[in-house]
Amino acid sequence: MDHLDTRTLQQLDAAHHLHPFNDNAALAKRGTRILTRGEGCYVWDAEGNQLLDAFAGLWCVNIGYGRKELGEAASKQMTQLAYYNSFFQCTTEPTIQLAAKLAELTPGDLNHAFFTNSGSEANDTILRLVRHFWAVQDQPQKNIFIGRHDGYHGTTMAGASLGGMKGMHKQGGLPIPDIHHIDPPFWFIDGGELSEDEYGLLAARRLEDKILELGPERVAAFIGEPIMGAIGVYIPPRTYWPEIERICRKYDVLLVADEVICGFGRTGEWFGSQYFGFQPDVMTIAKGITSGYIPLGAAMFNDRVAGVLKEQGGELAHGCTYSGHPVCAAVALENIRILQDERIIETCKAQTAPYLAQRWAELGEHRLVGQARIAGMVGALELVPDKRKRAFFPERGSVGGVCRDNALKQGLILRATWDAMLLSPPLIITRAQIDELFEKAWKALEATAADLGI
């Protein structure tokens, strides 16, 4: 590939590349930012700007950029055996080793992996296989999934339907049938006078109401992200998940944790369900499984579900050409080896996450910030017009983008959803880099307040 200059690349991009989750007409006018290099917690763009990536790409670069070992693992596997499928009563060694490794790492008896290329496909997989699980036990009517409004479970027909993003449902005629949603647990706006713990129970009992409304004999599963990421890092009260678990057990509804963001150390535990203390029956993973170096997703099933699928399921009429791709599996194994050998998650939990929480709370004192929420290495600053009130800007979403652009001018990448500034740095971020993040974020908040004339 011969290199082209930035302007030419931007013109070609505008002419030939449809960007996901973008207004493409607006983007073509503005010109795409082209990233060229990454090292540790930093990326560089084609203009030569060095940026502190406090969003880890898209919640995924957990071990940081530039780890040669992952490239070497891929290169070695590509040279030895670039591809073979797992369809024809075959598979490859890295695929098997990764399945066994995931069985060991994931909590409880989540001992069985089904591989996909992405988190969205993992959620498609669980929709089909969980319905199949009930159907082969003579309960084909037990096929309803309950998700949450504003949840995010990916972009395929099933993923977007299980999610509760209204803007996504509007495009393409979603949700598909037999998927229902309850309100998300977001105390900041919804909690009224209740304590967070009281509110967590109330929010969880919406699931019980929904199950009773639909009939427990119709409800196959409940799916949720332990922490709702894309909508703005909604961290539920500690009481929420144990109550959800109790309700699922009571009505024999399978509990599915979408750990695509929370998995592989994001909360300071290996999985978000461990952070909140509940045991899923089914779990979907992606992103941090390879630290984003190569695409890979998986659905993990417990012994009960996998047992039925194996013993009574017959031929599973489901799979991707690249299910269990040996190169992706080899990269995932190397990523997991680094996470373990370098004790990256333990260091987060014991040292960097507490320090990050302290500095994040200091940002929470800024006059624009109504709430600074954080769990491990994932958090958000909720920007508000009046710090004394738990209420959004009248024109919701008008300020977050301004603050994001101000952060970029400081050399800091934060994501904005509505008016929440989202944080999800590489897990290897150091105390010095956390201080840098703080300084830059504070300056971005100051610049935003000045832009608003506050």
Ligand X SMILES: *Cc1c(COP(=O)(O)O)cnc(C)c1O
Give me the residues that bind ligand X (CB under 6 A), please.
Answer: 59, 118-120, 152-155, 225, 229-230, 258, 260-261, 286, 297
Task: Provide, rounded to whole angstroms, the least separation between the CB of residue 324 and ligand X.
Answer: 16
Task: Provide, rounded to whole angstroms, the least separation between the CB of residue 291 and ligand X.
Answer: 13
Angle in degrees, 0-180, between the axes of helices 431-452 and 400-409, rounded to the nearest 10: 130
118 vs 417, beta carbon nearer ligand X = 118
Task: Provide, rounded to whole angstroms, the least separation between the CB of residue 391 and ligand X.
Answer: 27
Q: How far apart are CA 139 and CA 132, in angstroms?
A: 9
Task: Provide, rounded to whole angstroms, the least separation between the CB of residue 171 and ligand X.
Answer: 16
107 vs 364, beta carbon nearer ligand X = 107
203 vs 262, beta carbon nearer ligand X = 262
Task: Provide, rounded to whole angstroms, the least separation between the CB of residue 259 and ligand X.
Answer: 8
The answer to whether the CB of 416 falls within 8 A of the CB of 441 is no
Which has the closest alpha carbon to 297: 341, 334, 261? 261
266 vs 359, beta carbon nearer ligand X = 266
Both tokens assigned to 159? 């993923």
Task: Provide, rounded to whole angstroms, the least separation between the CB of residue 213 and ligand X.
Answer: 26
Torsion sign (Cα): 188, 190, 193, 197: negative
Residue nearest to ligand X (CB): 119
94 vs 154, beta carbon nearer ligand X = 154
Which residues have a Cβ under 8 Å from the Cβ of 432 and sit 6 or more positions away?
none
59 vs 222, beta carbon nearer ligand X = 59
Pairing of strands 219-224, 144-148: parallel
